């Protein structure tokens, strides 16, 4: 650090090195002048991969995806002013989904604040409603000890990861800088580094924060419901009955399909009676199925939520017990599969799978099923399910990821913003294939994410399920009001996405059949990098495929529970 050209770079070089020692391996940097000391420090570090995001909103969502994939926060760097405000949507998702993120924002010095200076806004506390912690750092000065810089980065990392007295989420460090912002030579007192001599001699962080060890939560009976973020808390070989949300990372044959089962149980008493549990343990949050959430709320048996905290995870306020913080489930000696649920899940999933396989037309649900089938020979990757219909189709129709594949989704706040950027983050962090399914409105919302996708080297297949608008609204009561529905809610746009892909230098394909889609996936996997596959289909075709799949599962369940 002694060779830093000026004190600004000395401070930020300390920060970049400390981030690396803590385990950070990715920085997403957006262009700007005031943030130059931070950008240069991370770019020159050598051990941290730098991704360039032309807009801060997409950059923050890419950092979110990196952390979703790796479990380690990425640093997102931006300049002052409205650049910081663009981070808010991703910071909200990070808090709600408990995903770590480090937001390093540059700011003006005190004399340029609140006086009409250019690109200066009150940004120090701008994200406080969404982040876990924030700190407004002073301008670099040798009067502030070097250990302050290191310990502040250590605290930010700990708070972001949820080991600093709370749960994981975004942390905002606001870095004030005076000139020089570029790495120009300015004399500074190198003796400032003497107080961190032990750090300079070693390779360890200045301080590590260790989470308090939590005991296992023993489950002796009943069923376990796995929501968003539950994969780390449930052993892979769980011997009880598991009802897994599509975004939980635990949806597999035998654990997917709870919504299909409950659709039938609402009108079929023998099935409903067979599903009665003696205890319910809910792990994680973000359950896509409204039927499953309402079914849990109607049960009178004891229920436990694991991972309680901010945000609160008891939407119907019926839990008997809340286990705070991270915990791991442990099967008790008396735990056995729930006979009714296990039989019903197998029956529903087999029937739904056969029905989807029989659908010849390319639609939203058949596109997802066909793409996963095409990737089944690939040894591991991530299925990223966009908010709105993709995650619902996968969950409601029991379309599970291929074996050895994980799942991701932005289901903390369930927004449609930043989905392409988040998927790009998954690909950048994992280096493994990613299949990302997003709706056309979501894709329009994050077109800049295609620029981030273009930087990815591993296979990233972005499926744009284009039904010319917001198809999900057809399932809501507003669809009955024809005078406002189409223009304000369905919002048809008439756009094709091949031209967008070309503008960002991405190959694209527009298959018209399920076989053509599978072939396109194979080519994208072999090609590497990002590919956009546009699936153009009508809303009616997708609705028909969903209805026939549900009917097949219902008929099979009625026969099995006659």
The predicted pLDDT at position 233 comes to 87
Q: What is the mean pLDDT of residues 331-339?
A: 95
The predicted pLDDT at position 236 comes to 84
Q: Are 234 and 526 in contact (CB under 8 A)?
A: no
Q: What is the mean pLDDT of residues 144-173?
A: 93
Mean pLDDT score of the chain: 94
Lowest mean pLDDT among 5-19, 233-247, 522-536: 233-247
The predicted pLDDT at position 214 comes to 66
Q: Is the pLDDT of residue 504 over 90?
A: yes
Lowest mean pLDDT among 4-18, 93-107, 112-126, 434-448: 112-126
Q: Are 367 and 465 in contact (CB under 8 A)?
A: yes
Q: Is the pLDDT of residue 497 over 70?
A: yes
pLDDT band (50, 70, 90) for residue 213: low
Angle at 373 between CA 369 and CA 376, to 5 degrees: 140
Domains plus CATH for the chain?
7-201 (3.40.50.970), 224-255+278-337 (no CATH), 362-536 (3.40.50.970)
Report in angstroms the alpha-carbon separations of 371 from 400, 425, 442. 11, 20, 19
pLDDT band (50, 70, 90) for residue 153: very high
Cα–Cα distance for residue pair 213/423, rounded to 1 Å:
32
Angle between helices 364-374 and 539-560 (to 10 degrees): 70
pLDDT band (50, 70, 90) for residue 472: confident
Lowest mean pLDDT among 26-40, 320-334, 393-407, 455-469: 320-334
Q: Tell me how crowded residue 220 is: count the other CB atoms within 10 A of its CB.
A: 14
Q: What is the mean pLDDT of residues 309-321?
A: 81
Buried (b) or exposed (e) across 57-73, using 16+ Cβ within 10 A? bbbbbbbbbbbbbbebb
Q: Is the pLDDT of residue 460 over 90?
A: yes
pLDDT tens digits, one per residue of 321-330: 888 777 889 9
Cα–Cα distance for residue pair 298/312, rounded to 1 Å:
19
Bond prior to 180 in cis (omega within 30° of 0): yes
Q: Are 508 and 497 in contact (CB under 8 A)?
A: yes
Percent of the chain with pLDDT over 70: 99
Q: What is the mean pLDDT of residues 111-125?
A: 90
* DSSP-assigned letter for residue 248: S
The predicted pLDDT at position 172 comes to 98
pLDDT tens digits, one per residue of 370-420: 999 999 999 999 999 999 899 999 999 999 999 999 999 999 999 999 999
Buried (b) or exposed (e) across 287-322, using 16+ Cβ within 10 A? bbbebbeebbeebeeebbbbbbbebebeeeeebeeb
Q: Which element (helix H / strand E) includes 295? A: helix 290-298
> What are 237's two structure tokens?
């070989």
pLDDT band (50, 70, 90) for residue 212: low
Q: What is the mean pLDDT of residues 115-135?
A: 93
Q: What is the mean pLDDT of residues 240-269?
A: 94
pLDDT band (50, 70, 90) for residue 181: very high
Angle at 26 between CA 23 and CA 31, to 5 degrees: 140
Q: Is the pLDDT of residue 100 over 90?
A: yes
pLDDT tens digits, one per residue of 361-380: 999 999 999 999 999 999 99
Q: Tell me how crowded residue 47 is: count the other CB atoms within 10 A of its CB.
A: 12
Q: What is the mean pLDDT of residues 261-279?
A: 96
Percent of the chain with pLDDT over 90: 84
């Amino acid at each position: 650090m002694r060779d830093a050209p000026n004190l600004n770079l000395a401070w930020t070089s300390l920060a970049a090195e400390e981030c690396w020692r803590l385990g950070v391996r990715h920085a997403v940097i957006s262009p700007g002048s005031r943030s130059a000391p931070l950008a240069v420090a991370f770019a020159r570090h050598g051990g941290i991969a730098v991704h360039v995001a032309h807009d801060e909103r997409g950059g923050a969502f890419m950092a979110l995806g990196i952390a979703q994939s790796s479990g380690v926060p990425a640093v997102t760097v931006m300049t002052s002013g409205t650049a910081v405000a663009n981070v808010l949507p991703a910071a909200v998702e990070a808090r709600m989904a408990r995903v770590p993120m480090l937001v390093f924002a540059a700011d003006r010095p005190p004399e340029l604040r609140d006086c009409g200076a250019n690109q200066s806004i009150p940004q120090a506390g701008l994200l406080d409603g969404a982040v876990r912690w924030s700190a407004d750092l002073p301008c670099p000065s040798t009067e502030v000890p070097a250990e302050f810089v290191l310990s502040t980065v250590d605290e930010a990392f700990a708070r972001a990861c949820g080991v600093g007295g709370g749960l994981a989420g975004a942390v905002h460090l606001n870095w004030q800088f005076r000139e020089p912002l570029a790495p120009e030579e300015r004399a500074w007192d190198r003796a400032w580094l003497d107080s961190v001599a032990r750090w300079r001699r070693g390779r360890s962080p200045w301080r590590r924060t260790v989470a308090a060890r939590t005991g296992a939560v023993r489950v002796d009976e009943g069923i376990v419901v796995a929501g968003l973020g539950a994969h780390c808390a449930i052993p892979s070989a769980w011997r009880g009955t598991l009802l897994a949300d599509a975004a939980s990372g635990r949806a597999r044959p035998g654990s997917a399909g709870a919504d299909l089962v409950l659709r039938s149980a609402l009108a079929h008493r023998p099935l409903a009676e067979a599903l009665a549990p003696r205890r319910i343990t809910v792990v994680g949050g973000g359950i896509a199925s409204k039927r499953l959430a309402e079914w849990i709320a109607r049960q009178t048996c004891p229920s436990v939520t694991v991972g309680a905290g901010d945000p609160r995870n008891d939407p119907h306020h019926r839990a008997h017990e809340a286990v705070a913080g991270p915990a791991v489930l442990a099967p008790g000696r008396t735990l056995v599969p729930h006979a009714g649920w296990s039989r019903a899940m197998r029956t529903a999933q087999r029937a739904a799978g056969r029905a989807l396989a029989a659908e010849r037309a390319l639609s939203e649900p058949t596109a997802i099923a066909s793409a996963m089938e095409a990737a089944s020979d690939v040894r591991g990757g991530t299925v990223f399910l966009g908010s709105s219909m993709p995650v619902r189709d996968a969950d409601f129709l029991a379309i599970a990821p291929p074996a050895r594949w994980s799942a991701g989704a932005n289901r903390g706040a369930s927004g449609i913003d930043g989905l392409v950027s988040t998927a790009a983050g998954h690909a950048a962090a994992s280096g493994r294939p990613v299949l990302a399914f997003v709706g056309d409105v979501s894709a329009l919302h994050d077109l800049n994410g295609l620029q981030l996708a273009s930087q990815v080297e591993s296979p990233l297949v972005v499926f744009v399920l284009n039904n010319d608008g917001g198809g999900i609204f057809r399932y809501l009561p507003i669809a009955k009001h024809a005078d406002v529905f189409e223009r304000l809610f369905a919002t048809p746009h008439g756009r094709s996405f091949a031209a967008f892909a070309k503008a960002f230098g991405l190959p694209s394909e527009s298959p018209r059949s399920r076989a053509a889609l599978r072939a396109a996936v194979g080519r994208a996997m072999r090609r590497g990098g990002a590919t956009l596959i546009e699936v153009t289909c009508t809303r009616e075709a997708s609705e028909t495929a969903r209805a026939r799949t549900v009917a097949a599962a219902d008929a099979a369940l009625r026969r099995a529970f006659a």
